[in-house]
Amino acid sequence: MLPRIAVYSPTPAAYADHPTGERSILAVTRAALSLARFQPFDVAAPRAFDKTGDADLQSRLIREAQAVAQRLTSSWAGQPPALWYTYHSYYKAPDLVGPAVSRALGIPYVIQQPSISRRRLNGPHRAFAQANLEACAAADLLFWPTERDLDGLCAEGHGDKLCYLPPSVGALPHAAPAQAAKSPIHLLTVARMQPGAKQESYHRLAAGLAALADDGGDQAWTLTVIGDGPAAADVRAPFHALGDRVRFIGSMSQAEVAEIYPSADLLLWPGFEEGVGMVYLEAQAHGVPVIAEELAGRAAFIANRLAAPNDPADYARLIRETLDRRQALSAAARGRIQAFHAPQAAADILRRALMPLIA
């Protein structure tokens, strides 16, 4: 019988009814666990998310989580899972359930993509930040996907239980050999139109494209934007000056987006304050080079140079540079995904890391 693994994420975006990066990562994680010869199942537990820093909300969610932990402990007492596996615990959405259940049942506890920020202990998220610290301390193993959070985890003394798990795609598409860029050049952006970091990324993208247009040159281009959300009006406003070169087509399913990738010459997304951008992996898996801004750890899974943060002129230059080398960068991008971010690579790491905990 395959070892049963309880899979949980405190982040609502991981279970959203619309495409999100976190939902994609959680789906890929389940698939990799299955490929690694485990039996993952979703835990029926509420999410713990506080966007703004509401002390009363945090207190209520902590109390509710304690009751849920007691219920799960009782229901699983006769036949507990082999391991509890949490995806993404951080100061806005800590795992309030897994540590208590794992401790009561005597099973290993693992977190994928933990993030620690001690300065949040003195802010409005202090209760959740403390709970997240305690969850990371309780973990037997911490899978880290990018260097962005590595320093914070090491500073807390977790170095001996860290394991590198590169971000992974769900499946490798059959990509045709890269061709020279078409005319007009087809640029693509795929992102939700959410307030905050994604909204800022869209503004930076618009500024970069304005610099590209002002730069002149003889390359005609169009941009297709796939995505929608509550910040749509604000997101679209700075693109108006670019006229009919920019086309907004709203939300699409992941399968529909996969059909668009082969027609794209470049994937554009600055990725302000984003850790693992699944869109970067998915585009490169189709042989589409990506244009992103520099961020700690991002160079590990992007095949070409990264743009200086919030520098429209550099972003425009990088678009032109990448187009000049598109065929070589397309092959390099797909090669990197095949070597380090394919499903089997993730499954092999999970098997090697988790089996000693449950053997």
| Sheet order of strands, 185-190 included | 246-248, 221-226, 185-190, 266-268, 290-291
Please report the sign of the dihedral spanned by the C-alpha atoms of residue 14, residue 19, residue 21, residue 23. positive
Instruction: Pick left, alpha or beta for residue 196 (phi over 0 → left; psi -120 to 50 → alpha; otherwise beta).
Output: left
From 297, 293, 316, 296, select the one nearest 305 (Cα to Cα): 293
User: Of all residues in the chain, what percent are helix, strand and coil, respectively (each to 5)?
Assistant: 50, 15, 35
Buried b (16+ CB within 10 A) or exposed e, 192-202: bbbeeebbebb
Per-residue pLDDT of the chain (359 residues; tens, 9 = 90+): 899 999 999 998 888 877 788 888 899 999 999 999 999 999 989 999 999 999 999 999 999 999 999 999 999 998 999 999 999 999 999 999 999 999 999 999 999 999 998 999 999 999 999 999 999 999 999 999 988 888 889 999 999 999 999 988 877 776 655 566 667 899 999 999 999 999 999 999 999 999 999 876 667 999 999 999 999 999 999 999 999 999 999 999 888 999 999 999 999 999 998 877 889 999 999 999 999 999 888 888 898 899 999 999 999 999 999 998 988 999 999 888 888 888 899 999 999 999 999 97
Q: What pLDDT, on the 0 to 100 scale, is given for residue 339?
A: 83
Query: How far is the CA of 164 from the CAs of 147, 248, 272, 300, in angstroms?
Result: 9, 37, 23, 12
Q: What pLDDT, on the 0 to 100 scale, is given for residue 176?
A: 59
What is the C-alpha to C-alpha distance for residues 4 and 6, in angstroms, rounded to an integer?
7
Q: What is the pTM of this model?
A: 0.86
CB 67 within 8 A of CB 1: no
What is the C-alpha to C-alpha distance for residues 242 and 225, in angstroms, rounded to an integer?
13
Is the peptide bond between 184 and the residue preceding it cis, with omega within 30 degrees of 0?
Answer: yes
What is the C-alpha to C-alpha distance for residues 247 and 260, in angstroms, rounded to an integer?
14
Residue 198 CA to chain centroid, in angstroms?
13
